[in-house]
Structure 1
Amino acid sequence: MALSRRTLLGLAAGVPASAALAACGSSGPGKSGSGATYWYLNGQPQEGVRAGAVDAFNKAHSKEQIEDFTFQNDAYKAKIKTSIGAGKAPTLIWGWGGGTLRTYVKAGQVEDLTSWFGEHSEVKKGLLPSSFAAATVSGKIYAMPCETVQPIILYYNKKVFEQVGVQPPKSWDDIMELVPKFNAKDIAPFSLGGQSQWTNMMWLEFLFDRIGGPELFQAVIEGEKNAWSNPDAITALTKVQELVKARGFIKGFSSITADSNADQALLYTGKAAMMLHGAWSYGIQQARGGDFVPSGALGYMNFPPVEGGKGDPSNTVGNPAQYLSISSKASAKQKKVAKDFLATGVLQDAEVKKWIDNGSVPIRLGTEKLLAASKSADFLQFTYDVATKAKVFGQSWDQALTPTPAEAMLENIVKLFQLSISPQQFARNLNAVTGK
């Protein structure tokens, strides 16, 4: 049974936040009569920051209220797509921009915010310029960048490395050499919540970049014929299967979900040596891992290069920001509430401080002193440097692509990791939907 957001927060100390699928209100999602509705992801500590921003706005605007509802990551992606297609979207649509936003725009489901940003130039000037690319379609802005910058990071357990007597990998060859050493000690080389699909995707994102460079995936986004069967793509697909065959991932990874945070627990309890995950993982490990993070046992690095590869080692992938769009189907009053929230309720001082306290880097400019003063200063500076110094910051594939090829990609990535299809079959299956 779904729990309300208020109930969920009240139980957070004793029940994993991800145990609730969604919140429910008296008027039902997307049907608030006088105020605006807002859907976003649950799971602490991020959920608490989002809820806090809504609470602060509602308190300051007695006549403009926002009713919020929460969902698990995978459930949200399915729910929001169905609701928008049925014309029953929430007023505020939380998302990742990119290809999914392009489909909303094409269908006329979201407001054009270009002129609004022109009237509120101070809002735009206060955000990282790089965050607007995934919010822009054909030169027009359809979403407000919000929250944090989230590159994908290679985390590792320093205690486990010391126990086995090895060093963090500096190349792909190093990774493959570490695998049997950890397996020999009954420690999984890598944790992976493979049932969630997008967690597997992160591996291919980096391998495509490190081997073929960012141009390799750009060809896919632009719909070039047979882009997925590029020789460099086949090499990347082959290497990930070599890692699976070498027992590089935790046994049973295909049945582990990221929403449960079980993959995180495997790292901080020492059952796995490494984990490829988003910058948001730091806050989860900090909140749930006991003394793991405070003791300095958590290590982190950018994904290492692949020998002979074309990608720059500074390149990263992930989420340049998160994004808020406004439903074109909302009432005039709901749209006004939503726009006032964008102007005065997003990334205010209290929210920025909470993101930083949770080990995240907000996309608001001018936060350098706050980052330096944080108890997580080293990690925040690392994240900031990865995000701002990368020659290319590639958006997550499931967001960069439009929904149909994105869904096909995720389905086939699962099969690739389960070794039920070959790299060549994967490429053929994806070529069939590319550019359509």
Structure 2
Amino acid sequence: MNRRNFLGLGVGAGAAAALAACGSSGPSGGSSSGGSSGGGGAASYWSLSGPPGEPVRQAAIDRFNKANPDSKITPTFFQNDAYKQKIKTSLGANQGPTMIWGWGGGGLKEYVDSNLVEDLTGWLGENAAVKDKILASSFGAATVNGKIYALPVETVQPIVLFYNKKVFEKVGVQPPQSWGEIMALVPKFNAAKIAPFSLGGQSRWTNMMWLEFLLDRTAGSEVFDRVFAGEKDAWSDPAVLDMLTKIQDLVKANGFQKGFSSTTADSNADQALLYTGKAAMMLHGSWSYGIQVSNGGNFVKDGGLGWMNFPAVEGGKGDPSNTVGNPGQYLSISSKATAEAKDVAKKFFSTTLVDDDEKAGWVKSGGVPVLKNSESLFTGGDAQFLKDMAGIANGAKVFAQSWDQALSPTAAETLLDNIAKLFQLQVSPQQWVDSMNGVIGK
């Protein structure tokens, strides 16, 4: 299973069930037939099947239907790939659901450009108490052209820098607090025959996390905002060349394990390098914690795993509190639904999806909710990690969505291809920029 399989952060007893985050190839289980936009006092809801998400989603619908017997919601759950195909064709044929589950970003922008989803900006303004219950940083991927078209729901999953405390003690060094310290650690770990960083480079999206953080720390969020907005030649910002050069400097310094470009994240081979002490550090999503718990024996239990937000870059303009990853999952309302169905959806948004049971359900599943003030629910051996992830998400001035989710499918594929070539030193920074400028807005 890979990052793109399903939503969820696996921790504790639930670790084996939820080892990855959201995206392109979906969870097993579940099937569906068509739905409708919802009529009368009813609404329909389409989403993803399988644990850990489906049981929590179903529980929310059951709570709402029990409290509102005259305004029932009918759910339909799909496998991920089937869902992504079905939702597009159904919405285009005016046969889609009232409520549309998604990842925000580029996919949401396509819906907005086709006038398929409701503008929720005014409604959220009138219902400020609802918006205030949700982490502010989760709204970025729900926003297109300054307007909000989806409600952030479910969980947040920041990318963090994990490290093996035992390896650091062995080499006699401290976790890096800057990019300069990262580069200074590389030869020290190499001298001890330990890979400075583990990287599942064959999977490409793992490499992308390095670019996302380095560009943010170097230039702030504004550069990628211009790319997302479709501004011509937005990748030509000097900060991009600086970031790309830094990446290749790290590769040339043997910052990653030998053969990293053939290591897969799907097999969790990159994870194993960290918990076995063959690598000192790994930049990865918060879901990695569950993999370390599940597969690493007593590594986490014995206090071997450390984590931190990505450090600052010397002279960089970016706020070191910023993070990247999955700032939430998202529910939109179909613009084609009846007025009655839209009202049911908005009632669901303003009551059930922001109540205490919703918050508790996602924590029990092993996730950090998008809802504020969840920390008191974090208990047991995983409590500190969950609190820290919530702290990163809540404290981020900007929680940037993963680039391949923020961009269109066409631009995302070109991005991932060029990132792989960059790490393999097959393209220069300038060639990378030229290629990426060619797919802006496509």
Same fold (TM over 0.5): yes
Cα distance, 1:235 vs structure 2? 1.6
Instruction: Kindly report which structure 2 residues correspond to 1:37-186, keeping only aligned pairs within 5 A, or say none.
Output: 38-40=46-48, 47-55=51-59, 57-58=61-62, 61=65, 64-71=73-80, 79=85, 83=89, 87=93, 92-114=99-121, 117=124, 122-186=129-193
Cα distance, 1:58 vs structure 2? 3.7
Cα distance, 1:246 vs structure 2? 2.7
The CA distance in 2 between the partners of 1:77 and 1:28, in whole Å, is: 10
Greater shift, 298-307 or 282-291, is seen at: 282-291
The letter of the residue matching 1:68 is: F
Cα distance, 1:82 vs structure 2? 5.9
Q: Is the 8 A contact 1:356 1:374 kept in 2?
A: no
SS at 2:158's partner residue? strand
Q: Is the 8 A contact 2:19 2:290 kept in 1?
A: no
CA pair 361-167 structure 1, distance change in 2 beyond 3 A: same
Q: Is the 8 A contact 2:56 2:361 kept in 1?
A: no
Cα distance, 1:417 vs structure 2? 1.6
Residue 394 (structure 2) aligns with: 388
Size of the alignment, in residue pairs?
A: 417
CA pair 41-262 structure 1, distance change in 2 beyond 3 A: farther
The CA distance in 2 between the partners of 1:20 and 1:142, in whole Å, is: 24
The CA distance in 1 between the partners of 2:154 and 2:295, in whole Å, is: 21
Residue 260 (structure 2) aligns with: 253
Residue 305 (structure 1) aligns with: 312
2:245 to 238, 243, 251: 238
1:422 to 421, 428, 431: 428
Cα distance, 1:20 vs structure 2? 7.0
SS at 2:363's partner residue? helix
The letter of the residue matching 1:250 is: Q
CA pair 137-358 structure 1, distance change in 2 beyond 3 A: same
Residue 9 (structure 2) aligns with: none
Q: Is the 8 A contact 1:189 1:248 kept in 2?
A: yes
Q: Is the 8 A contact 2:130 2:354 kept in 1?
A: no
CA offsets 1:130-187 (integer angstroms, 9 cap, x no match): 3233323345432111122332211111122223333212222322232333334443
The letter of the residue matching 1:355 is: W
CA pair 100-189 structure 1, distance change in 2 beyond 3 A: same
CA pair 30-22 structure 1, distance change in 2 beyond 3 A: farther
CA pair 196-29 structure 1, distance change in 2 beyond 3 A: farther
SS at 2:256's partner residue? coil
CA offsets 1:100-152 (integer angstroms, 9 cap, x no match): 31121111233344565467654333222332333233454321111223322
CA pair 20-96 structure 1, distance change in 2 beyond 3 A: closer
Greater shift, 354-363 or 75-84, is seen at: 75-84
The CA distance in 1 between the partners of 2:399 and 2:18, in whole Å, is: 32
Query: Which runs of 5 or more structure 2 residues have no equivalent in the other structure?
Result: 1-5, 7-13, 67-71
CA offsets 1:373-425 (integer angstroms, 9 cap, x no match): 55433323333333333344333322333444333222211221222211111
Compute the RMSD of aligned alpha carbons.
3.7
The CA distance in 2 between the partners of 1:253 and 1:30, in whole Å, is: 45
1:353 to 360, 379, 384: 360
The CA distance in 2 between the partners of 1:225 and 1:308, in whole Å, is: 27
Cα distance, 1:24 vs structure 2? 4.5
Q: Is the 8 A contact 2:140 2:400 kept in 1?
A: no
Cα distance, 1:274 vs structure 2? 1.1
Q: Is the 8 A contact 1:35 1:67 kept in 2?
A: no
The CA distance in 2 between the partners of 1:420 and 1:65, in whole Å, is: 51
Cα distance, 1:32 vs structure 2? 11
CA offsets 1:326-371 (integer angstroms, 9 cap, x no match): 4456788986775565455535434423433566432212334334
The CA distance in 1 between the partners of 2:87 and 2:246, in whole Å, is: 33
SS at 2:79's partner residue? strand
The CA distance in 2 between the partners of 1:241 and 1:295, in whole Å, is: 35
1:207 to 205, 211, 214: 214
1:405 pairs with 2:411: yes
Q: Is the 8 A contact 2:161 2:310 kept in 1?
A: yes
Q: Is the 8 A contact 1:156 1:275 kept in 2?
A: yes
The CA distance in 2 between the partners of 1:107 and 1:120, in whole Å, is: 26
Per the normalisation by structure 2, the TM-score is 0.79
The CA distance in 2 between the partners of 1:278 and 1:22, in whole Å, is: 21
CA pair 232-122 structure 1, distance change in 2 beyond 3 A: closer
The letter of the residue matching 1:70 is: Q
Cα distance, 1:50 vs structure 2? 4.0
Cα distance, 1:429 vs structure 2? 0.5
The letter of the residue matching 1:274 is: M
2:331 to 307, 317, 324: 324
Cα distance, 1:243 vs structure 2? 1.8
Residue 377 (structure 1) aligns with: 383
Residue 3 (structure 2) aligns with: none
The letter of the residue matching 1:264 is: Q
Q: Is the 8 A contact 1:188 1:272 kept in 2?
A: yes
